[in-house]
């Protein structure tokens, strides 16, 4: 298997967690005999410092010439004085648009070993396995007109969707649900917003093409409560850009930390992969960052761009094994005497070792 990955480590803890994710991808390539090529590029604050742009042309060209893009994180408070279109985060929005991925996949899983890390009771989070499918190129984040008139103290953003935009992301959700537990929960605000009324009508129409998948609708405010009360009731959660951003971050409470959450953006010319957490500049360079979100993001690269499902599962199982063994970074360091605090790099090494043992065992079984 050949795979070319553009690596955009970005700002803050981005380079630290990306380094551990790359170590895992290289291990999979070496142990499985695959040919993975990695091309580095600048994005965000480091790109502004080096080139004056949050997304240099060279970075975008490298991304478009790759099979996948692995991104660490963007953002740094020292750029807050810049206008929004010049800040590090603008580079992220620009590359999302340029790559064309419209479906953002965000898993939220309750790891038994991390039950003490969640403020929710273990009996609430037990067996939770949610896949959020967030529409990523429409809604308030991209709708026009948008402006802030500081003289009149007035600002406006526009929530806008077309039927075709809803159709394409809905089909992704139903296809994924058909391979999981066959349930889609579509989240909107149809009791107030015309955009949500279009969303609900369109999703209902698309559901007819998937008779084996159950569809239910939830209003976003009630859904925010249900995720905290009955998270195991949900399988694939489909929603628009703003609601998906908020709800999937909220679901970090189930896992115990945003540092555990991976994501993949699919559907465009090149898939974009990034952990959900931000750049966390306050802990950059301290060795406290949790690399597991980035490592699980690497597993999504293997699944959705390389087509290596077995290897993707092996990475995920290695993460489970390391957590069961009691290894923790600072953000998930709860659980009593059985917990052993480790650094970013040490956590990556433990996952690497567990993965190598898993793949070696699998290869030995095949050889018998």
Identified catalytic residue from 189, 235, 273, 311: 189
DSSP letter at 80 equals T
Question: Active-site residue 245, yes or no?
Answer: yes
Is 189 part of the annotated catalytic residue set?
yes
The alpha helices in the chain, defined as continuous H runs, are: 14-32, 45-51, 57-64, 88-99, 122-125, 163-178, 194-207, 220-229, 241-250, 252-255, 292-304, 309-324, 344-367
Q: Which of 85, 221, 282, 360 is the catalytic position?
A: 221
Written as six digits, the tokens of 159 are: 């929530």
The number of residues in the chain equals 368
To the query of whether residue 141 is one of the catalytic residues in this protein, the response is yes
147-149 and 154-156 as β-strands: parallel, antiparallel, unpaired?
antiparallel
Q: What is the gyration radius of the CA atoms in the chain, in angstroms?
A: 20
SS3 of residue 8 by DSSP: strand
Q: Give the active site residue among 11, 76, 188, 245.
A: 245
Catalytic position from the list 4, 67, 86, 141: 141
* Burial class of residue 348 (count of CB atoms within 10 Å of its CB; 0-12, 13-18, 19+): buried
- DSSP summary character for residue 276: S
Bridge partners (DSSP) listed for residue 185: 216, 237
User: Which among 213, 200, 202 has a CA at the least distance from the CA of 164?
Assistant: 202
| 17 CB neighbour count, 10 Å cutoff | 29
Burial class for 111, CB neighbours closer than 10 Å (0-12, 13-18, 19+): buried
CA distance 61 to 59: 5
Instruction: Name the residue among 17, 2, 73 with its Cα closest to residue 351.
Output: 17
Cα torsion 86, 88, 90, 96 to 10°: value is: 150
d(CA 44, CA 278): 12
Q: Can you say whether the dihedral through the CA atoms of 189, 210, 274, 166 is positive or negative?
A: negative
> And the tokens for 222?
């009630």
Show which residues are catalytic: 141, 189, 221, 245, 249
């Amino acid at each position: 298997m050949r795979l070319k990955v553009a690596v955009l480590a970005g700002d803050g803890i981005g380079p630290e967690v990306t380094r551990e994710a790359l170590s895992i991808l290289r291990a999979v390539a070496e142990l499985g005999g695959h040919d993975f090529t990695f091309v580095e590029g600048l994005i965000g604050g480091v790109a502004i410092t080096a080139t004056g742009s949050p997304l240099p042309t060279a970075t975008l060209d490298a991304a478009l010439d790759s099979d996948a893009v692995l991104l660490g994180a963007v953002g740094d408070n020292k750029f807050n004085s810049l206008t929004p279109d010049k800040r590090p985060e603008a580079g992220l929005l620009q590359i999302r648009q340029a790559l064309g991925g419209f479906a953002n996949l965000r898993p939220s899983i309750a790891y038994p070993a991390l039950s003490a890390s969640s403020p929710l009771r273990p009996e609430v989070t037990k067996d939770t396995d949610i896949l959020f499918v967030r529409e990523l190129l429409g809604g308030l984040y991209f709708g026009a007109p948008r402006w802030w008139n500081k003289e009149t103290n007035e600002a406006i953003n526009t929530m806008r969707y077309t039927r075709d935009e809803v159709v394409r992301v809905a089909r992704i959700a139903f296809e994924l649900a058909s391979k999981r537990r066959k349930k889609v929960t579509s989240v909107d605000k149809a009791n107030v917003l015309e955009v949500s009324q279009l969303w609900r009508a369109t999703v209902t129409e698309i559901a007819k093409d998937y008779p084996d998948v159950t569809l239910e609708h939830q209003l976003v405010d009630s859904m925010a409560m249900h995720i905290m009360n009955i998270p195991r009731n949900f399988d694939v959660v489909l929603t628009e850009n703003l609601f998906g951003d908020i709800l999937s971050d909220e679901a970090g409470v189930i896992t115990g930390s945003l540092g555990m959450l991976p994501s993949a953006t699919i559907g465009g010319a090149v898939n974009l992969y990034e952990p959900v957490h931000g750049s966390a500049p306050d802990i950059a360079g301290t060795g406290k960052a949790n690399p597991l979100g980035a490592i699980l993001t690497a597993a999504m690269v293997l699944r959705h761009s390389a087509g290596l499902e077995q290897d993707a599962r092996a990475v995920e199982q290695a993460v489970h094994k390391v957590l069961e063994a009691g290894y923790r970074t600072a953000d998930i360091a709860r659980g009593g005497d059985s917990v052993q605090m480790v650094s970013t790099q040490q956590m990556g090494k433990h996952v690497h070792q567990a993965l190598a043992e898993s793949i070696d065992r699998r290869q030995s079984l095949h050889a018998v």
